[in-house]
Structure 1
Amino acid sequence: MTARDAATAALDLTVGGITTDATTAAELFAVVDLLDGQPMLRRSLSDPSSTDAARAGLAERLLAGKVSPTTVSVVAAVVKAPWSSGNALVAGLERQGVRIALEASRASGRLDTVERELFAVARTVDENPDLSAALRSLAYPLDGKRALVARLIAGKVDQVTEQLASRAVRARRRTFSLTVESYLEMAADLGGQKIARGTVAQPLDEDQATRLKAALQAQVGGAVTLLVHVDPKVIGGIRVSIDDDVYESTVAARLEDARRQLINL
């Protein structure tokens, strides 16, 4: 584990010790939006020459009476951590908001639904060149991008899915899809699971999905979150990836293997 990973894990543990809920996440995202537009304030809250207590005190004075005491406590914990820049601080604060939103979904028994929906939204964006280009465009305003995603999913997904898809438009991990990917990794971590990404030619029915999930859990020796993408190009069978391991059993793959063998004759 790198020093950065260790610091992130320590902060997760600290914030995890604070009793939070979905409202906390929403307020944290509002604080993030405020700091995104205030470079001087970002620098002050991440200033390494200032003491932890001074930075936390500044955050408390800034937010007292404007957000809940719980949210103030989370922000104070985040600003006490060492950050390389004001932008890194804001990204770290948003990460805690995402984790808290996902934790609220887990507590309500909706985490699996949110995972599946976020995965589907990211796939939809990837498969729509115009939408994907608009979300990547630096010339397109952030509010406009969020409106595009909102029109795509409003009323069709869980409230947390809608909230996090809107946050992912900011693309702190370079692209919308990579940012959603980071959310899915956090969700799997909260659930103590590994992510299994399956690609199939036709949608799996409930029985097929259950049997596949059970087989994968037996393979990895632990709980698995199964995210399935339908791609007619695979023709038949299934392709599953877990971490760096890939399990391939598709007609397309077998045809490609046969083609290569013929070429090498």
Structure 2
Amino acid sequence: MSDARVQGYAKALFEVARAEGTLDEVEDELFRFARSYESSDELRTALSDEGIPAAKRQAIIEDLLGGKATSTTTQLVSMVVGAGRARELPAIIDKLVARASSSKNLAVAEVRSAVPLTDDQQARLKAALANATGSEVNLKIVVDPSIIGGLVATVGDTVIDGSVRTRVDQLKSRL
């Protein structure tokens, strides 16, 4: 899909969420859904298989998100999947997150952690990243057990890697 089309979908989803007054919540739910979608071969296959009727793919979305996400989030994901654009969901959602952050003068900070972070840890991390980058950040946490421990933070083109996995790899390369 062209970047213009991805941007168009992102803008449309952004405007719907903003009009509903649920932009912050929907943005966060969509971000988490996109990361789940990317990490599950089975989900990607089920939602992007054009051989499966659109109504069935949309029913999968209802089953997955119904009651666990706002109705706006569920409807937006269902609309994109029903339009046959499931493969582009992560790109569309990432553009929406960037647009929402930009509208609040924030930089997107995607942080990968081996375990969920407490509210206090998130607040301290947000402050540290703001200090390190010079920009207030919209913190997006992805739990990624392959990190083993520590964190990997990406803000724009800046990557701050304090993961145990990277340190172990660095030690291996020295041996």
TM-score range, shorter chain: 0.7 to 0.9
Alignment match, 2:93: 180
2:61 maps to amino acid: V
Alignment match, 2:15: 100
The separation in 2 between residues aligned to 1:157 and 1:150, in whole angstroms, is 10
- Structure whose alpha-carbon radius of gyration is higher: 1
Matches within 5 A, 1:162-201: 162-169=74-81, 170=83, 172=85, 174-201=87-114
Residues 1:95 and 1:120: Cα distance change in structure 2 (over 3 Å): closer
2:72 maps to amino acid: V
Secondary structure of the corresponding residue to residue 157 of structure 1: coil
Matches within 5 A, 1:1-265: 92=8, 94-104=9-19, 108=21, 110-169=22-81, 170=83, 172=85, 174-262=87-175
The separation in 2 between residues aligned to 1:177 and 1:96, in whole angstroms, is 14
1:105-143 deviations in Å (ceiling 9; x for gaps): 5xx4x4332222111111222222211111222222222
Residues 1:231 and 1:188: Cα distance change in structure 2 (over 3 Å): same
1:143-164 deviations in Å (ceiling 9; x for gaps): 2222111210111112322222
Q: Alpha-carbon deviation of 1:174? A: 4.3
1:206-253 deviations in Å (ceiling 9; x for gaps): 000011011112222222111101111111100011111111001001
Cα contact 2:54–2:84 (8 A) shared by 1: no
Q: Alpha-carbon deviation of 1:96? A: 4.4
Cα contact 2:110–2:142 (8 A) shared by 1: yes
Cα contact 2:11–2:96 (8 A) shared by 1: no
Q: Alpha-carbon deviation of 1:165? A: 1.8
TM normalised by structure 1 equals 0.58
Aligned length: 171
Q: Higher relative contact order by CA 8 Å / sep ≥ 6: 1 or 2?
A: 2
Q: Alpha-carbon deviation of 1:173? A: 8.2
Secondary structure of the corresponding residue to residue 90 of structure 2: helix
Secondary structure of the corresponding residue to residue 99 of structure 1: helix
Runs of 4+ in 1 over 4 A off after TM superposition: 171-174
Cα contact 2:151–2:162 (8 A) shared by 1: yes
The separation in 2 between residues aligned to 1:95 and 1:102, in whole angstroms, is 11
Cα contact 2:48–2:85 (8 A) shared by 1: no
CA RMSD of aligned residues (A): 2.3
The separation in 1 between residues aligned to 2:156 and 2:10, in whole angstroms, is 21
TM normalised by structure 2 equals 0.85
Percent sequence identity over aligned pairs: 32
